Amino acid sequence: MTDSMATLAGVRAAFFDMDGVIYVGSRPLPGVQELLDYLDATGRRWMLVTNNAALTSQQFSDKVAAMGLRVAPERILGSSEATASWLRHQVDKGWPEGKVIIMGQDGLRSALTRAGFELTTDPFDAAYAVSGANFELTYRDLADVAL
Would you please indicate which residues are annotated as catalytic (active-site) residues?
Answer: 17, 19
DSSP structure class, residue 21: T
Q: How does 103-142 read in b/e, with b if 16+ C-beta sit within 10 Å?
A: bbbebbbbbbeebebeebeeeeebebebbbbbeeeeeebe
β-bridge mates for residue 126, sequence order: 99
Q: For 54-109, what is the HEC assignment?
A: CCCHHHHHHHHHCCCCCCCHHHEEEHHHHHHHHHHHHHHCCCCCCEEEEECCHHHH
